[in-house]
Chains A and B, each alone.
Chain A
Amino acid sequence: MNNTTINVDQLNSALNSLRVLRSSVSHVFETLSNGLRADHGEDGKDKFLLELQELLNNVNINLRDLEQTVNGLPIPTAPFNLGTTTYLSQETTQDRQALYTQLVNSYKWTDKIHEYSSFAHTLLSQNSLKRSYINSGSTKRRGKLQSNHNVAPLLVDNVINNIDRSYSDMKITISRPFASNAVVQINLGHVLKAIVAFKGLLMEWVMVKAYGETMDLWAESRHHVFRKVTENAHAAMLHFYSPTLPELAVRSFMTWLHSYVNLFSEPCKRCGAHLHHTSLLPPAWRDFRTLEPFHDECKQ
């Protein structure tokens, strides 16, 4: 990008000196065509010749300038492909000449769009968020999938009770304060309590609190560490979110949450310490795959 701007500057100055040269040449011809004037006086011939010589000197200087700047210009590697815009130069109507600047501006604009969209594409392809049904394929499957927001309470109960049975130290209780949607309270040993709001089989909200705190969906924990865990649980909820396989999503999230059973007792896998030296928090992050504990600051 930098190179091109420099080139444009050089080109500009080259064009400038060309214009100066042209004007000085036309000045010479103008003086010549006018011939002797009254202000040249009696021996006007000599004066006239002197003036002409000066003007020709000027032309020489300007020519040298032009040559210098042109030498400084890089030689284009390939002929410019201007497409149909080449015909623009043949356009003679005055008001259509303005088209050219507009054309250049719009070209710049589309070029930028192209650049930004390619950046966006690389970024988005790295973080596939799996939030939509786009990749889910056939329409038949699709029809079935949309019902995940609206699953029979019995089915939800079954899924959650199955998860409850597979952990001895994690107690899960289901309540339905908001019509048919389940609100699930999870007691993980003596370490923490979490409350998860479901919409059908999809998790919508998580709040994590200390063992002794009162549970409700919206108030945050008074302890820094559980506010951090809540934050991470939101990240995990989004990470595991999968509208195509909601049961798997719930199960993976619960497995992940269960790994917090050693929240206070297990040191960080990276720095080996319990408390991070600046935040003074225990390792409140669990890796999604290995479930190993890390400090937020150590997880990269």
Chain B
Amino acid sequence: MGVTVLQQYPVPENKTGTYVIELLTKRILALGASQQGQFLVDCESYLSHPQMGTTKTVHIFHNSEQPASVFSILDTGSKNIHVIADGLFDLLMMKLSQHYTSKKQTKIESKGPRFELGDFCIKLGSVTMNQSFKGILVEVEYRPCVTPNAVWGLLREFLQGFLGPSVMVQAPQHLVSRMNEIYTPIDTIYQYLEHFSAYRKITGMRSA
């Protein structure tokens, strides 16, 4: 497991998401990458029943990179608590439907082609919520390194070179406080949560 950075790629006006994905695919193939299948990250959020006091949200994530795991993040409003469980966790959530109700209309996912280039793994995801296109998320993983602090400069150089000078590449908010810690898959999920929450707040496409 290496360090992953998730970056939003702005879709230019009067261009479609497929156009951007094709553009980025062309660029990444020109660098010498090879396509290694598809990927999918999805998120479903459940709201706690009002009887249970203050409203809490549980976000359930699946990531095709860790197919046997279910990631859940409990958002209490003040802090996030995460649990990583195996696939049965989905069934448990169904049992809890009395206490946690699913907000079906906010089910959001990012999916698209997955590439490998040397020690990098690049995923070009189109984000859709309820079948409507919301934007592009580019995920870049550098696999040999485990601490974000050491590898951030290198990743920024790669992202900047690959996405072009028009994109501002900044360290993900989630990573800033834990730059010296060892990176784990849940850190990727937190980054997706950040971006998905931003997408949900905006109607239409996200430009920046």
Contact = CB atoms under 8 A, between A and B. Distances in A.
A22 to B, nearest CB: 73
A223 B118 CA distance: 8
B145 to A, nearest CB: 5
A176 interface: no
B101 to A, nearest CB: 39
A265 interface: yes
- For chain B, give the interface size range: 20 to 34
B117 to A, nearest CB: 7
Interface string A192-234: 0000000000000000001110000000010111100000000
A274 B161 CA distance: 12
A243 interface: no
B158 A265 contact: no
Give the size category of A's interface with B. 20 to 34
Contact of A265 (B32, B120, B153): B153
Given A190-B146, A211-B146, A212-B146, A282 B118 contact: no
B1 A212 contact: yes
A281 B118 contact: yes
A264 B146 CA distance: 10
B154 A264 contact: yes
Interface string B109-144: 000000001111000000000000000000000111
Given A210-B144, A225-B144, A275-B158, A280 B150 contact: no
Interface in A257-279: 262-265, 267, 273-275, 279
Nearest to B117: A280
Interface string B155-173: 0011001000000000000
Contacts of A211: 145-146
Nearest to A223: B144
A265 B151 contact: yes
A210 B150 CA distance: 14
B143 A273 contact: no
A191 interface: yes
B147 interface: yes
Contacts of A224: 118-119
Interface of B: 1, 31-32, 117-120, 142-147, 149-151, 153-154, 157-158, 161, 182
19 contacts: A190-B147, A190-B182, A210-B144, A211-B145, A212-B1, A221-B144, A223-B143, A224-B119, A263-B150, A264-B145, A264-B151, A265-B149, A265-B153, A265-B154, A273-B157, A274-B158, A280-B32, A280-B119, A281-B119
